[in-house]
Amino acid sequence: MNKTCERPALDDIVISRAIIESYNKKLIDALEADVAIVGGGPAGMICGYYLSKAGKKTVLFERKLSIGGGMWGGGIMFNEIVIQDKAKEIFDELGVTTRLYQPNYHLADSIESVSTICSKAVKAGLKIFNLISAEDVFVENNRISGLVLNWTSVEMAGLHVDPITMRSKYVVDATGHPSEVVHIAEKKSGISLNTETGKIMGENSMWAEVGEKAILKNSREVAPGLYTCGMCANAVYGGNRMGPIFGGMLLSGKQVALELIQKIDKGD
Residue range 172-191, pLDDT digits in tens: 999 999 999 999 999 999 89
Cα separations (Å) of 69 from 43, 104, 156?
9, 24, 19
Is residue 6 predicted with pLDDT exceeding 80? Answer: no
What is the arithmetic mean of pLDDT over 106-119? 98
For residue 134, tell me if it sits in a domain.
Answer: yes
CA–CA dist 92, 19 (Å, integer): 35
For residue 257, tell me if it sits in a domain.
Answer: yes
For residue 79, tell me if it sits in a domain.
Answer: yes
Residue range 243-260, pLDDT digits in tens: 999 999 999 999 999 999
- Percentage of the chain beyond pLDDT 90 is 95
For residue 18, tell me if it sits in a domain.
Answer: no
pLDDT at 85: 97
190: buried, middle or exposed (CB in 10 Å: 19+, 13-18, 0-12)? exposed
For residue 114, tell me if it sits in a domain.
Answer: yes
CA 68 to chain centre: 9
pLDDT at 268: 83
Please give the radius of gyration of the chain, using alpha carbons only, rounded to the nearest integer: 20
pLDDT at 5: 66
Residue range 198-242, pLDDT digits in tens: 999 999 999 999 999 999 999 999 999 999 999 999 999 999 999
For residue 9, tell me if it sits in a domain.
Answer: no
Per-residue DSSP letters for the chain? --GGGSPPPP-HHHHHHHHHHHHHHHHHHTTEEEEEEE--SHHHHHHHHHHHHTT--EEEEESSSS--GGGTTTBTTB-EEEE-HHHHHHHHHHT---EEEETTEEEEEHHHHHHHHHHHHHHHT-EEEESEEEEEEEEETTEEEEEEEEEHHHHHHT-----EEEEEEEEEE---TT-HHHHHIIIII-PPPSSSSSS----B---HHHHHHHHHHH-SEEETTEEE-THHHHHHHTPBP--SB-HHHHHHHHHHHHHHHHHHHHT-
CATH number at 210 reads 3.50.50.60
pLDDT at 2: 56
pLDDT at 7: 74
pLDDT at 1: 47
**243, 206 contact by CB (below 8 A):** yes
For residue 128, tell me if it sits in a domain.
Answer: yes
Overall domain count for the chain = 1
For residue 144, tell me if it sits in a domain.
Answer: yes
Is residue 156 predicted with pLDDT exceeding 90? Answer: yes
Domain span holding position 104: 35-266
Q: Which residues pair with 245 in a beta bridge?
A: 82
